[in-house]
Structure 1
Amino acid sequence: MTHISAKPARQAAETLPANDNNQAALADLSFLDVINDDDQIADIARRAERLGHVTLIIMAIGLTAAPLLYLMLA
């Protein structure tokens, strides 16, 4: 009599087919592993906030200068 199981028997890693879906073979490519210091995280947040402020100021200047330029050339 043959025993029939709903789950197939586990295979060793060497006998599994080569594919990219094997979770054990996936590399952890998170950039957060490189940043491990709170000072570095705070520095990145400060730079991002400064960049946001500069972008906001440039957008405000552009939104006021564009209509003025249009009225001057019309």
Structure 2
Amino acid sequence: MVFDNGMPACDITGVEWVKSSGSVGQGNCVELAKLPGGQVAVRNSRHPGGAALVYTREEMIAFLAGAKGSEFDHLTI
């Protein structure tokens, strides 16, 4: 199966969607799933059938490194 950016998340089957244990529990979070081939899909937990963003492994590594390095902290203030 080919996974494209913006495809309906409900069309991505056979994967495990996970969210952070720090999620507020009100459905206001994102969920991620590892796809065959190493890509990662991201969806809005409030709209699990909505569009999924699909990232390469390298893109996710770069994003997580930035998040761990506090590069995006100013966006939450």
Task: Indicate the TM-score class for this superposition, using the shorter chain for normalisation.
Answer: under 0.3
Q: Which structure has the larger Rg?
A: 1
TM-score (norm 2): 0.20
TM-score norm. by structure 1 comes to 0.21
Q: Which has the higher contact order (CA 8 A, sep 6+)?
A: 2
Which structure has greater helix proportion?
A: 1
Larger strand share, 1 or 2: 2
